[in-house]
Structure 1
Amino acid sequence: MASPLALVPVGTNPTLLWGMTNTERTRRIAASQGFAADDAGGPAILANTAFAFDPVWTAHLKTRPGTVVTRGGVPVLAHVRDASERLQVEEAMRADAAMPATALTVIAAEADEGILNEALRKREKPFAERLVPAAVPGIERASYVGAYKGVTDLLTKYLWPEWALAITRVCARFGITPNQVTALGSVLCIVATIAFWHGWFWTGLATGLVFMVLDTVDGKLARCTITASKLGNAWDHGVDLVHPPFWWWAWAAGCAPYGRPLDDTTFWWVIGTMLFGYVAQRLIEGAFIVRFGMHIHVWERFDSRFRLVTARRNPNMVILFACLLLTRPDWGIIGVAAWTAISLVVHMVRLLQAIARRARGEALTSWLA
């Protein structure tokens, strides 16, 4: 029986990345990706601690024995199959020298073609950079950007990446954990809900804005510091999944104390449309994943662009904010309901189009692949 594969750091490097040594970072990557806890001396992936690398690389190499990733010719990572290959690679790593001619397949990290992320069905170019003090800000930024997986909404993509990066760095330096960030965000989420209910919309929006930024920070902090956990993932995604309908309901109710009440018919039409649309849209997304093995948002370029504005929490908050500027929060919640209905129709049409194409024998692939 083959020994479990280990991820083995080679050399030492005192330069800290996200508040930890490269050896500790490699250990965390190994634990998170299911590598063996101890090196049995057999096949392994060797990691040159002179370089910092995206964890995507080790996941990629895990199923590719006899492959080495280089930067400027120097081996950064290598999946060695025997003692002879291990010796050659270790010597090159410790000497900071180019790989000698071997039977190993070489992937140049700086090559433009990158690699295929099979989990996300998209092609990307993971970072692998020499880790020296002057390079830390750039590497941390590359690590942070790499933590943005898949496609997202316009606020998360364009408005608060820099805010969240600064907060993520502070949290990493002071040892604040992702779960602690999630806990604070959860409290703020509840405070925002109460504020909306009482018609304190500006207070709720300000509190909700901080929560939404922290909602980005906890996941990025977990990925950048390699501290993701099942509890944290379930907690974060659970809050994300549950709270939006409560926000919209509270906003609709808060229109009355604000002085712009909805009549009963409009109130229940708005609530019913939003709840039905929210649940149905999520079910469509799940059905698309089950049937076609990818998110609906990465199918074609249109789907990724529509994800920027589709009726999720952040785009809906833009609608509410714009209408509140006009002192018409009632128009805002009606607008959110209407946009939810439109987004639902778009997703339903895309699902039916995908089913029809599959029925015609067409292979569905992500445009990002």
Structure 2
Amino acid sequence: MTNETNAAPTVAAFGTNDTPIWGMSAEERLRRIAKSRGHAYDPAAASGPLLLSNLVYVFDPAWMAHLETRPGTVMTRRGVPVLAHVEAGDRTAVEAAAKGAPLPAHLTVVAAEAEGGILNEALRKREKPFAEQLTPANVAAIERLSYLGAYKGVTDLLTKYLWPKWAFALTKLSAKIGLSPNGVTAIGSVLCIAATIAFWYGWFWTGLAAGLVFMVLDTVDGKLARCTITSSKLGNAWDHGVDLVHPPFWWWAWAEGCAAYGRPLSDTVFWWVIGAMLFGYVAQRLIEGAFILRFDMHIHVWERFDSWFRLITARRNPNMVILFALLLVGRPDWGIVAVAIWTMISLLVHLWRLFQAMARRSRGQAIESWLA
């Protein structure tokens, strides 16, 4: 039986589970996932289309997003139904299948352990989302899977390779003490401002220390929100707003601070650096936006090259690696000049990729993500 109506499915549940995960029960987690996806939650729903969840298991929210548009589909783990998009009339059959009975032949089965995985466009990656039985013995393992599932597949080299262990520990600590994602963002915002002030006065090592903690917390707030299913419009706007606004202030402050440090830039070099970085920063953002508007995907997930280049492109974290490396040899002035040059090179690469995509489409070629 398939869903023949356009009604949004209600999230329902069966089974019980007293084991908490990320400080909440399996049912509370399911309720939050339902709310975040815009679904009504009624555990005992007995009419209309349902997204029916087995509370003995927990799953990555990506599974709910995947099944929303696939009525008549059951996601299983080792043959046991975990989440099903079915009509209410199939509810009894799905619950019976969780106890060993066969599923009705008209339902399509998707195994969570299948190798193909699914595309998560929001996090720019093809993934195999977790779906696991929740028991006290495997809470730690599932929390780690949940955390890793919240990670973007295409990002910069620090976020991808250096931050994960630090951010995971801080995410667990934040959840344990009840610190909200917005609380983490607030702490990070203060450190971001402190770093800006330190750079301005030439206290580069102090600024780098404050900036390092801020950059890690910038990862923690988003992961905490996804793991505890507590994302909010305010938190999202605040986090992304800080991310968008602060980098030019950091570069300007660093350039100013070179004089206090004893390595001043000449007026000509100073304004060339500031102009290049401001223009390059804004132009790259506009190119990324234009690519999304024209091709309905991020430029960084078009081809393998684009995903690789995102590791090192002139965004905040790779730029900070450049500044750190040249500060080690006592030349913060060389560092900010190098960042300006790298910003312009990155701009040219992105402009070239945009024009390439436009040219290929004009020749009738499809522009699709290599992750799809």
Q: TM-score range by the shorter chain?
A: over 0.9
Counterpart in the other structure of 1:311: 314
After TM superposition, list the pairs within 5 Å mapping 1:152-167 onto structure 2. 152-167=155-170
Q: Secondary structure, in 3 states, of the residue corresponding to 2:75?
A: strand
> Counterparts in 2 of 1:91-106, with a 5 A limit?
91-93=96-98, 95=99, 97=100, 99-106=102-109
Which stretch shows the higher mean deviation, 212-221 or 44-53? 44-53
Match of 1:174 among 177, 181, 192: 177
Q: 3-state SS of the aligned residue for 1:52?
A: strand
Taking structure 1 as reference, are residues 23 and 209 closer, same or farther at Cα in structure 2, changes over 3 Å only? same
When the two chains are superposed, the root-mean-square deviation of aligned CA atoms in Å is: 1.4
Q: CA deviation at 1:99?
A: 3.7
Q: CA deviation at 1:91?
A: 2.5
Q: Give, in whole Å, the separation in 2 of the partners of 1:99 and 1:7.
A: 23
Q: Structure 1 CA distance, aligned partners of 2:250 and 2:339?
A: 11
- Number of the residue aligned with 2:345: 342
- 2:317 paired with 1:328: no
Q: Kindly state the Cα deviation for residue 150 of structure 1 after the two structures are TM-superposed.
A: 4.0
Q: Which residue identity lines up with residue 209 of structure 2 in the other structure?
A: A
Corresponding residue for residue 354 of structure 1: 357
Deviation, structure 1 residue 122: 5.0
Identity of aligned residues (%): 72
1:43 maps to which of 38, 41, 49: 49
State how far apart, in whole Å, the 2-side matches of 1:332 and 1:54 are: 42
Q: Distance in 1 between matches of 2:61 and 2:180?
A: 19
Question: 1:366 and 2:330 equivalent?
Answer: no
Could you tell me whether the CA contact under 8 Å between 1:194 and 1:250 is conserved in 2?
yes
Whichever residue aligns with residue 38 of structure 2, its letter is G
Q: Quote the Cα distance in structure 2 between the aligned partners of 1:159 and 1:70.
A: 34
> What SS does structure 2 have at the residue aligned with 1:107?
strand
Determine the structure 1 residue equivalent to 2:281. 278
Q: How does 1:127-138 map onto structure 2 within 5 Å?
A: 127-138=130-141
Q: Which residue of 2 aligns with 1:86?
A: 91
Is residue 67 of structure 2 the alignment partner of residue 61 of structure 1?
yes
Name the aligned partner's letter for residue 79 of structure 1.
H
Match status 1:5 vs 2:35: no
Deviation at 1:175, TM superposition (A): 1.2
Moved more, 165-174 or 34-43: 34-43
In structure 2, the CA distance between the partners of 1:189 and 1:98, relative to structure 1 (3 Å rule), is: farther
Aligned equivalent of 2:255: 252
1:116 positional shift: 3.4
CA distance in 2 between counterparts of 1:118 and 1:153 reads: 17
Give 3-state SS (helix, strand or coil) of 1:123's partner.
strand
* C-alpha distance 134-347 of structure 1, shift in aligned 2 (>3 A): same
Equivalent position of 1:107 in the other structure: 110
1:160 counterpart SS class? helix
Instruction: Determine the C-alpha separation between the residues in 2 that align with 1:116 and 1:322.
Output: 36
Shift in Å, 1:141: 1.2
Contact 1:281 1:344 in 2 (8 A): yes
Distance, in Å, in 2 between the alignment partners of 1:162 and 1:120 is: 19
Q: What is the letter of the counterpart of residue 66 of structure 1?
A: G
> 2:349 is aligned with what amino acid?
V
Structure 2 CA distance for aligned equivalents of residues 183 and 353 of structure 1: 41
The secondary structure found in structure 1 opposite 2:209 is helix
Q: Distance in 1 between matches of 2:138 and 2:13?
A: 20
Moved more, 249-258 or 54-63: 54-63
> CA offset at residue 138 of structure 1?
1.4
Match of 1:77 among 77, 83, 100: 83
1:120-153 per-residue CA deviation (whole Å, 9 max, x = no partner) reads: 6753211111111121111111111111134100
Q: TM-score, normalised by structure 2?
A: 0.95
Cα offset, 1:62, TM superposition: 1.1
The gaps in structure 1 that reach 5 residues or longer are none
CA deviation after TM superposition for structure 1 residue 79, in Å: 1.1
Equivalent in 203, 212, 233 of residue 236 of structure 2: 233
CA distance in 2, matches of 1:346, 1:181: 34
Match of 1:147 in 2: 150
Secondary structure of the 2:276 match is helix
Give the secondary-structure state (helix, strand or coil) at the position aligned to 1:9.
strand
Q: TM-score scaled by structure 1?
A: 0.96
- Structure 1 residues 220-253: Cα deviation after superposition (integer angstroms, max 9, x where no partner): 0000100000000000000000000000000000
Identify which of 24, 27, 31 aligns with 1:23.
27
The AA in structure 1 aligned to 2:272 is W
Provide Cα deviations, 1:157-203, integer angstroms capped at 9, x if missing partner: 00010000010011111111000000000000000000000000000
Amino acid at match of 2:83: L
Any stretches of 5+ residues in structure 2 without a counterpart?
Answer: none
Distance in 2 between residues matched to 1:98 and 1:271, nearest whole Å: 68
